[in-house]
Amino acid sequence: MSVATRPKQWRIGGRTLTLDRTYIMGILNVTPDSFSDGGQYSSVERAVARAYEMQQQGADILDIGGQSTRPGHTPISADEEWLRIQPALKTLFGKLHIPISVDTYYPEVARKAAGLGVEIFNDVTGFRDPLMRKYAAEHGVGCVIMHDLPLDESDDVCAALRAFYETRTDECIADGIAPACLCLDPGVGFGKSYEQNLQIAARFREQCFGDYPMLAAASRKRVIGMSCGNPPAEQRISGTIAYHTACILGGANLIRVHDVPEAVQAAQVADAILRSHK
């Protein structure tokens, strides 16, 4: 397939997003142990208030997760993950104007979330589980396929990503997921060296695959800290903006962030630069 420029649409649930600008996916972690905001939104009241705040700040999508996937995290069961996210999803059901994504690799959690109005499955294991693909096809949700396979330091990251995307999108389509529902995420920080994580941003256009939308998700991550003196995670906003802007100029359609207002403004400027180049 040919390298993409900027796809026009992404189908999620009952709506279609027209990707004529960069979309902002706001992160809502209802966890006690996430690497940068663990415990801040673990109560349903604070989680719901944060969801409304991000919508007001300009987020286009809310991505809610109940389990940390930071390096060295302790996995929890599907039942425990659902107990963490269900109260917020139930309270928000039908009340937000923006679509909700669930960040999970448990098929049963994703299926239950779809029953409470979730329109996107964001799976850090890249829809490896056939049951996750089955439920995604049944509910017609948008699917974020993240690359999570460990790479050797000698591997060309862009070549590895494109090979992964080809295999996994073929599997998803074979299991009934519409191609228009698929979105690809290079998996910054998952099984990659510091240099490979930098290469994802520096060579973003090389990894774009077919006509699929691309998501960049480096918010506050280790690659940001290592590049600027390792400040605490909450002090990596400017570094995150720099990384994501490089991705947008390389063809990213969506960025996943903790800090919504700053991301919105940066994306608006990056989009203006892209428009001026036409």
DSSP symbols for 168-196: HHHHHHHTT--GGGEEEE--TTSS--HHH
Q: Which of 50, 133, 162, 221 does the annotation list as catalytic?
A: 221
Question: Does residue 256 contact residue 215 with C-beta atoms inside 8 Å?
Answer: yes
Active site residue 236: no
Question: Does residue 125 contact residue 144 with C-beta atoms inside 8 Å?
Answer: no
Angstrom CA distances, 151 to 105, 145, 189, stand at 20, 17, 11
Bridging pattern class, strands 23-29 and 15-18? unpaired
Active site residue 192: no
* Phi/psi of residue 26, nearest 5 degrees: -85, 135
Q: What is the DSSP letter of 3?
A: P
Closest-CA residue to 187 (of 175, 196, 178, 177): 196
Q: Which residues of 97-123 are buried (b: 16+ CB within 10 A; e: fewer)?
A: ebbbbbbbbbbebbbbbbebbbbbbbb
Cβ-based neighbours of 164, under 8 Å, separated by 6 or more: 126, 147, 149
Would you say the C-alpha torsion 255, 257, 259, 260 has a positive or negative sign? positive
The length of the chain, given as a count of residues: 278
Helix (H, G, I), strand (E, B) or coil at 41: coil
Catalytic residue list: 221, 256
